[in-house]
Structure 1
């Protein structure tokens, strides 16, 4: 690789022993990726802060012991448990202290303890064309696609090395060539599928994620008024079913107009495929017992809380069914202090922070279904939690929570 003066300085320890160690690892990583040189980044988002075992702590502690400090603004992804509400945790009790240790180590390195999988819902967001090193699958696809910033798929440990050096190899989706579409999907309209709008985006993302795993699709026919929350749901589901890291949507996403599609293979997504995706993610019979409704995968935005607040206003939840909504600390604080969201409190909604409930078990009732509006949760939840999960509209989830039983579709 061709190294610039800053790269040589980092390797030589001129910016500290921690940065030197991180840079040495990145050189090996860049060589494996076939990169010719490094580029600077403006920010990082760390996924290695989610406790998976002792190696997570060992890796971070080594950099702390070497006196490391991140060289760019760096945020933290979700943790393995909501340490603010440890009483809700239904997993191994020792993980609470281990997660607290891992989070504290990252804070010592200068990372901001945002502990959210949707840091793009904060005020400071990457700009179009800006190079960053972000981990967390839904965040990667969102900033690449919806914001037009540039990150490759960074995973645990590589993300922290990038933050400690402010450098990444010019590889993957940092490169112009890698961002060009490899397939064009003609999508059915919402009306053609007959699906409610909030199911449509999850289902479409699930289909093209599976049909184009790990490549960049160009979408035609996506509603041009798609909101950020809808694009968030689409990208998160596609990242779950097919490692989606970037999509272009005609008339919707910022880079789509600049993308050449002549000669790119064109495929059609049929309404039948979209309906089949919903059926695969919602294997539930009307009248089945509902243990819980889990929302906020990815983390809920203020706008989504407003929709939920309206949906539950004046209604009563069954004592048999809990409702958990995952979000960031910042958004949770805004909700807690705003009387406009009193309907949420009256309905008995539990707001989970710092984690996602498809990772951290919080549902106390061991029998019955878990309902969700998230395609990502419906995809990962059964394997992670060993529970049956069903994808439904928000309205149907709320009606089911009222009775404690799966409500009929509208």
Structure 2
């Protein structure tokens, strides 16, 4: 089967190479971090249609990736240990997995081809069982008919470089800066960027020990004398850096996780160890051009702060921090920050704080491939904590680096260039989403707070709610543990004001450095059978990462679970009442 010239025009090799394998196809984007086991290539995201399938050696067809920036590290590890897909075929722009494949080729000489196809050709391949890729074509067959689709060669970068850029690319600033610039150059080419842009600060996500490949990359860059040239904060890491030995973490994991964190600190990054860098005193300002990694941080920076950052994959984050330069593409550009879909939200009456992560999760599903604008929620006046939770949940289901809320976020009043699609999120949608995030049992024995890292105000609210329950003569269930993860700066403030002592007096463990999406046994108690959380992000990723079912609800519901060890299967009152009203009205 041949294709027309118009169909072939959108088909291009992003990273050229030769590969073949059975086809695994999905129309739903997948986050490799939290979604794919880096040791085996098996899909562990329990909410994804490919759950349980092994991607190793297959040609993976999906529109794009979504979720965590750490997916590039997972892919690099899969490539280095021989468990990666044979090739990737996308129909939309994709950076995270492409970057992992680019680093594998650039630094380790291992190639996994990546292609981007027109929508029509991509749809045709869904009926194909086996594909072979070369730099010039994709070949296979469907229902006995041969397929042969030509591929345009990878885009060549034609960047308008400064003298400083050229010096780094030529190696005059050292081998690490040269390697970093080569990787940036390669990403800029596939993104269609025409120039690089100065950034004022960075945030490193690659310091999490998502896989051994993260350490391999960091130590290779440090050995090449990498040093950051802009103020650079660090994400949560995979261990409590100062106490992991006392916590019983095996040295086989703790030592490389600490080595990874230490390597980034030696390269000049600040040991902030938080996935909520926007909670630090020096948060970015509106219109400030920054280079952050970590999906929730990126979405919060763009959406709530009005700063500008692409969702930079792991590894590219360090490359940008070393050079101070990023491809001027994506949401660095005004035109790409405009909403492309309107989501009209039916507000329930008097929702609690669980509404916001639930809405973020559903908005991501409703706009998995584009930046949306949400209408109908401004009168509810979400707090910063509400928006933090919403941004994190949105990032689990959407590939977009930001969204807008009419009447709330700083760029929500932008003008639409053309009519855009309008979709609805109603009470029934919320009830269905609630059920999806609450598939765990009624009996729980661990309460997880702090995904992303908890704020001072969130911790105060937790302490107040616990004090009310304990002051009324109730006791915490003896078999339920309550754990909070927070950044070092937040914990320092909690200690100074006395909130940390209140939490600890109520039996709450407050952990620095690591966050829920990197906690495993033995920090995660081995006796844990089910988890309760107020995080839409962790409710999504937790079953795959922790291997335990998760329940989701408000902070007050989490405290009630801590007291009783029990979570009702019923909808919360605000959602149940809204559902009854909607059904009655219809």
Per the normalisation by structure 2, the TM-score is 0.66
Question: Residues 295-324 of structure 1: CA distance to partner in whole angstroms, max 9, x if unpaired?
Answer: 000110011011111100051322201011
Hey, what does 2:328 align to over in structure 1?
170
| Higher RCO structure (Cα 8 Å, ≥6 apart) | 1
Which of 530, 545, 567 aligns to 1:369? It is 530
Hey, what does 2:396 align to over in structure 1?
240
* 1:126-137 equivalence runs, <5 A: 126-137=284-295
Moved over 6 A (4+): none
- 8 Å CA contact 1:82–1:352 kept in 2: the answer is yes
Which secondary structure state, in structure 1, belongs to the residue aligned with residue 227 of structure 2? coil
The reply to whether residue 360 of structure 1 matches residue 515 of structure 2 is no
Hey, what does 1:401 align to over in structure 2?
562
Distance 1:340 1:92, change over 3 A: closer
Q: How many residues align?
A: 405
- 8 Å CA contact 2:279–2:455 kept in 1: the answer is yes
* 1:173-252 equivalence runs, <5 A: 173-191=331-349, 196-224=351-379, 225-252=381-408
Distance 2:206 2:262 in 1: 13
1:359 Cα shift?
A: 2.1
Hey, what does 1:313 align to over in structure 2?
467
RMSD of equivalent CA atoms: 1.9
The reply to whether residue 350 of structure 1 matches residue 504 of structure 2 is no
Which secondary structure state, in structure 2, belongs to the residue aligned with residue 190 of structure 1? coil
Distance 1:340 1:208, change over 3 A: closer
Which of 482, 493, 496 aligns to 1:334? It is 493
1:284 Cα shift?
A: 4.4
- 8 Å CA contact 2:219–2:263 kept in 1: the answer is yes
Hey, what does 1:148 align to over in structure 2?
306
1:16 Cα shift?
A: 2.7
Gaps of 5+ in 2: 1-158, 574-586
* 1:259-298 equivalence runs, <5 A: 259-260=415-416, 263-284=419-440, 288-298=442-452
1:223 Cα shift?
A: 2.9
* 1:60-71 equivalence runs, <5 A: 60-71=218-229
Which secondary structure state, in structure 1, belongs to the residue aligned with residue 378 of structure 2? coil
1:283 Cα shift?
A: 2.5
**Deviates most, 166-175 or 352-361:** 352-361
Distance 2:404 2:321 in 1: 27
1:121 Cα shift?
A: 0.2
Question: Residues 148-188 of structure 1: CA distance to partner in whole angstroms, max 9, x if unpaired?
Answer: 11111111101100000000111111111111111011111
Which secondary structure state, in structure 2, belongs to the residue aligned with residue 377 of structure 1? helix
Which of 236, 253, 269 aligns to 1:95? It is 253
1:140 Cα shift?
A: 0.6
Distance 2:324 2:425 in 1: 41
Distance 1:100 1:67 in 2: 19
- 8 Å CA contact 2:378–2:405 kept in 1: the answer is no
Distance 1:208 1:80 in 2: 29
- 8 Å CA contact 1:47–1:76 kept in 2: the answer is yes
1:343 Cα shift?
A: 2.9
Distance 1:396 1:166, change over 3 A: same
Distance 1:373 1:58 in 2: 35
Distance 1:244 1:163, change over 3 A: same
- 8 Å CA contact 1:184–1:217 kept in 2: the answer is yes
- 8 Å CA contact 1:84–1:353 kept in 2: the answer is no
Distance 1:90 1:240 in 2: 30
Which secondary structure state, in structure 2, belongs to the residue aligned with residue 253 of structure 1? coil
Question: Residues 324-371 of structure 1: CA distance to partner in whole angstroms, max 9, x if unpaired?
Answer: 101001111222233245431221100111111232123314343200
Distance 2:500 2:247 in 1: 25
Hey, what does 2:214 align to over in structure 1?
56
Distance 1:226 1:120 in 2: 17
**Which has more radius of gyration?**
2
Question: Residues 110-146 of structure 1: CA distance to partner in whole angstroms, max 9, x if unpaired?
Answer: 0001111000000111111111111101001000000
Distance 1:165 1:27, change over 3 A: same
Gaps of 5+ in 1: none
**Deviates most, 206-215 or 222-231:** 222-231
Distance 2:344 2:246 in 1: 44
Distance 2:478 2:244 in 1: 21
Question: Residues 84-135 of structure 1: CA distance to partner in whole angstroms, max 9, x if unpaired?
Answer: 3326757654111111111111111100011110000001111111111111
Distance 1:102 1:208 in 2: 35
Distance 1:338 1:11 in 2: 49
Distance 1:158 1:64 in 2: 15
